[in-house]
Every structure is written in structure tokens, then in C-alpha cells.
Structure 1
């Protein structure tokens, strides 16, 4: 279905939360392209976020996320998008409305100049990874063993190679990484799955909120360190990993940082796959350029 207008999203927010009278509405870019998202300011100067799925798959993801957040809210030291109201949709499913979380998105490079924030960021990721895995299992979300996850990466690599759009040196680098069995001996844990872009919020030197929990799973902890591993300098990464390691309840495996970098590189490959799947030439061109830049950056260095 086509994207909803700001007016229709404002109407959904008003229907979902008693006493919410929209005054201003601003469309927001969503992580998923099958969910319409808007920021609402009401007559009491309160700020809300409304999210409305466009199809049944997106609707199931939002419902699973909402159920999971209900179970996690007492375990984590930062805010999450906990629904305060829902509104049924004519197409089926429901729109969810939550308060806008305080803070602004963290950018990887700022961690270099703000070691206290880098420490808080590492501790926030550790708090997620320390969650009991049963919470994810009970929410019906994916659970992988280390070996299953390695095979998942292999299958993903095959799909990337089949596009014919990835530099050979990168494919060779990734093949060596995935085939090095010893580097994949990690203890699976709760993984957020999408700690990138605007999904981690900070105010001052503290992490105040984490958004977008629909990709949560029990899997490789390296995935949640991928974004900062590929976006920040090695110097900035030091405080993050030191704080993360100290705060983890389980031992951190010696290959975590290597797999985190690999996961960050794979994110570009997944962007390419998304473009191919949706037949979006703009996304494909963007991903091909990013892969070329990545190849130039890593050269012939081992993974």
C-alpha cells in the first residue's frame, strides 16, 4: 500500500491515545520501508511517535517488538519505545504510539572525543547482551547457535556473490573469514540487531534510549558492535570495547572485534541485496559505490 499522509498518521495517534490532540506532524524516516512513521506534537507540547505498518509482515514485526519491549523494560537502564496506545488499521493490524525518547542519535566519530559517552555506549550494549535469552525465546524471536549463525553468513555470502556486483577481493576476504571455524566460537546472547543510524540516543554523556527492536534475536554479539566498528576509529573503539568487556556477565571471545568489523562490512552487502531484491537502481548504485570504497580501504589486508 502507498505511504500514509501526515494527516492520517496524526489521526491514528489521536485515536490511539486518549487526550492526544495533534498540533504539528512531521514524517520521519523509518529503518524499515514498510512502516510509516511520524513525530506528533500535541496541544500540551508533548511529543509522540506513531508507527503504522503497511502490510501483514510489518504488522507482525511491530507486535513482536511491542511484546518484547514489555518484557525488557524492567531489565535495561535506558528508555525504549513502549507503546502507550494502539489504533486498529482498516487494512488489518494496528498502529502503535509511544512517547518520543529523550536524546539525540550518537555518531561514531564523536566517541573519539567523548570517552565518557564511549564508555556509556559500551555499557549499554553489554546490558542488552546480558539479558536472559529466555526473554527472546518467549517472544517467539529467532534463536541461533554459533554454528547455525556461521552457516547463515555463508548463505548470505552466496547470495551476494550471485549478484556479480561485489569486488572479488572483498568476496575472497569474506570467504576466508566465514570459513575460519575457530573464529566463530562465541556464546550466543540477546542481540538488538540494528544498533545503527538513529537507533541509539544520548543526552550529555549518557545513553538515554534505544529504538527499533524488531530485529532482536539470540545470535552473535559482534552484530551489535558492527556499526561502531566500521564507523569509528580504532582509538575511539578502545573505550567502547573496554567498557563493554568489563560489563559483560559472560567472557568475551578473542575474535569478537574481528567479527564485528566483518559484520559491519556485511551490512553494505545486505544493502546491495536489498536493492537487488526491490529492483531499486538507486540503492544498487549506492551499495556498489560503498563496496568499491570499502575495497579500496581494506586492500589486501587479512580480515
Structure 2
């Protein structure tokens, strides 16, 4: 679905709901907007509104309108982890100099300043326009999928000096491999990972061919909602901006393609566009590592819950892993089977994982998405129809507590769910000899957006 967050005053005539303020602090947009002047001395704030896209509750956020016409986003951390993320975001945005930004075919939020609101760290950035699309609803073909692949390739083509010069993290291929091995071992030590998954992951770690890659500048785990789109009358949705730069680093480029496990319709076209736009040496194992990394997000969530002694998180993660294991084909125990046997990919296992189980990053607190009804004209649209005994010692907890995780607390498994990540089907191709495949793909993309529009008010 298209994420629409212009429900306050710009929703195409729709009645604006009462604003809600994510996070435990509940500061109003006016309180937050007033703090913008501390980060940007001399700024004249003329208005404020809530950032209305749903977030994961770790930030209070608002949009401040300035007298010069600019709109700024202000986010205030709700806990220490969120404060660390804001600090990393600020460092990354400052590392992206004008020269670095000129290498990218899309916009990156400008760093405006930092301040404190009460006891919370606050970051002020430029608000980028655009709409977002959830992974399962990214359509195949020309438009969004191809633009996303090219955008990722552009990030990966940036010189690593941009990141290294700013003192941001950098990992070699071997260091990335070693980190994955630690995650697998830590997850297995909980005793909650199905044996066949442990075997699968350890065989992947042991496969030398899988880890022969050149490290690149990465976003550190892009998600579909990291991309902001605007409409192009001829090419369809095009990436106009990317948000979520707090994990900017040098490392395995596969980390920015792992989200494709949740985008079955668009995955092939995103990967093809990425390969075509990439100036890097081809990496035959890129998609295999990406699928491995997607599976390991469930393992990270398990390790996170175990380190915090949170049975609820552990149980959620274990259920996801059970569903993942149950979805494996007979004999398909290795992530690398697809390369050697030509069988279905490892991520077919996610068909048994509930929809929405694939982790997502919180990017909604960095943009206010345009209503697609304002970007697409009806006359432009065609008709549409996620072993070893558990250890409970302090050394183990200290070892795993620092592993990167994403908050998947809302992802409760339901093994009776249908296919995960299966978006709405695209319309069947009409029998029209005069239409090229590209034209049909374009019509499909527009038809999908038409359906998103139709469900926007539901």
C-alpha cells in the first residue's frame, strides 16, 4: 500500500483524524516545533503539525513550517537506543557533503541542527516530500522497482572515503562473515532455533564462495519505506529521496537488498535494475547473501530477547523461526542450494511466515508522505482490475547484548497465516499486439497504484 500521511489539511478533502503522538512522551507538535529555533537560531516558525505516518513509538516528532517556506522535521528520542540512533543519523547526514550528494540521483535530508527537548535528544532535518510504498505492494516492471534498484546501486557506487573519512563503521568481507557467524552461534545457544536452520546457516557461513565480495558504502539495511517517490508522467513512480541514514557504513552490499524477501512481485526487477546500474564487479552470490541476511533478522530478534530476558520476545522469534523452518522444501537445507541445484530460493520458506513478519525500519518519522491522489491523475491511469542447550550465564548475555537488532515486538507469529509478502496480483495482460512489454509493465504499475488509491480511504 502507499503510505499516506497528509491527512492533516492536505488529504484531498478527507476529514482529518485527531493527531496522535508516537512514543511515551506525548509532546505536542507545537512544543516540538518551538524547539526548532534552538537548533536553527533565527528561524521563524509559522506553523506546526504532527508527522502523521505511523511510527514504532520511539520518537516524538513534528513538522515545523518556516516563514521562508521550508518545512523541517524534528524528532525527539524516547529512550537511550533512539538517542543513539539520532546521533548516528546526524553524523551520517553531516558526512554526506555537497559533493557526495551530487553523486546520487535522489535527495538526502539536509542536516539542520541538534538540540534537547526536556531530557530528550532532538534532531532537526529537512523534510523531504514524497510517498512511500510497503514492500509487498511494490509492483513489478518499469517505474518504482527499477528506480529502487538504480537508487541502491548509486549508494553502493559512492567512494568508501565518504564513510571512512567521517569515522563511520567499515567492515571487510571477512569481518561481515565473522559477524554473521556470531549471530548464528548466539541464536543457536538459546536452544530455540530449529536444527535444520542452524545447519543451513552454518553451511552458508562455511561457503567461501559466498563471501568473496567487495565491501561497499551501504545504508546498513534499507527498507522499502526508506524510499520516497514522486510521479513521473512517462516512467511512473521514481525515487526522489531516501531517508534512514543512521546505519551508513562500509560493508556487505547484500544488506541493502535483504528487504526484497518481502517484495515478491518486484524482487527480480529491483535486482536486475541494480545490476544494470551498478559500476561494481558483478557479485554472483549477492542475492543468496541477501536472503540469508533476511532470515537472520529473526535470529537477531531471538538473541535480542534472550539477552534482555524477555520471554515474550523469545517466544515470538522462536515461532517465526519454526514457521521459517517448516517452509523449507525437503532436502533444501542450505541457503546455497539455489545456486547449485536451480531449485526455489531459500526465502521460499518465508511463505509460511505471517504477513508483516519481515522487520521494517522506522523511516516514517523522517518524512511526511504526499497523498498519491495528488500525484496521480485519474486520466493517466489505465483500467485495473523469519543444537545447543540454552545458556543463562552473564558472559553469554554480555556477548550478545551488543548485537544490532530491530524491534519486532509487534510481529507475533501465526503459523496458520497465508503467504507472507504476497501483494495484490497485477492485472492480466490484455491481448494487444501493439503494446510492448514495457508498456504493459507500466500499465500494471499504474493499475497497482490505482488499487492503492482505491483502498486509501478504507
Q: Indicate the TM-score class for this superposition, using the shorter chain for normalisation.
A: 0.7 to 0.9
Cα deviation, 1:6-29, whole Å, max 9, x if unaligned, reads 234333235334112443334766
- Offset of 1:79 from its aligned partner? 1.8
Of the structure 1 ranges 42-51 and 59-68, higher mean CA displacement relative to structure 2 is found in: 42-51
Whichever of the two has the greater Rg, that structure is 2
Report if aligned partners of 1:193, 1:217 keep a CA contact under 8 Å in 2.
yes
Residue of structure 1 aligned with 2:183, choices 156, 164, 168: 156
- 1:221 maps to 253
CA gap of 1:47–1:168, structure 2 versus 1, over 3 A, is farther
Query: Residue 286 of structure 1 corresponds to which residue in structure 2?
Result: 316
How many residues are paired up?
Answer: 297
Aligned match of 2:403: none
Other-structure match for 1:81? 109
State the superposition RMSD in angstroms.
2.7
1:30·1:37 contact (CA, 8 Å) conserved in 2?
no
> Please, what TM-score do these two structures have when normalized by structure 1?
0.86
Secondary structure at 1:6 match in 2: coil
Structure with the larger strand share: 1
> 1:30 Cα shift?
5.4
Residue 117 (structure 1) shift = 1.4
1:68 to 70, 90, 95: 95
1:120 paired with 2:142, answer no
Distance 1:176 1:273 in 2: 20
Aligned 8 A contact 2:64 2:74 in 1: no
Structure 2: stretches of 5+ with no match in the other structure = 1-22, 232-236, 336-458
- Tell me the alpha carbon deviations over residues 26-83 of structure 1, each in whole angstroms, 9 at most, x when there is no partner: 476657x7x5241325477864321234446445423322322346322211122222
Structure 1 residue ranges without an equivalent (≥5): none
1:217-257 deviation line (CA, Å, top 9, x unaligned): 111111110011x1122x63221111111111112211111
CA shift for structure 1 position 170: 1.1
Correspondences of 1:193-208 after superposition (within 5 Å): 193-196=220-223, 198-204=225-231, 205-208=237-240
- Compute the displacement of 1:277 (Å): 3.2
Q: CA shift at 1:3, angstroms?
A: 4.3
The answer to which structure has the higher helix fraction is 1
Residues in 1 aligned to 2:141 and 2:230: alpha-carbon distance in whole angstroms:
12
CA deviation vs aligned residue, 1:168-205 (integer Å, no higher than 9, x gap): 11111111111111211011111111212532222231
For the 8 Å contact 2:230–2:238, the answer to whether it is kept is: yes
- Report which stretch shifted further, 105-114 or 139-148: 105-114
Residues 173 and 251 in structure 2, CA contact (< 8 A), matched pair in contact too = yes
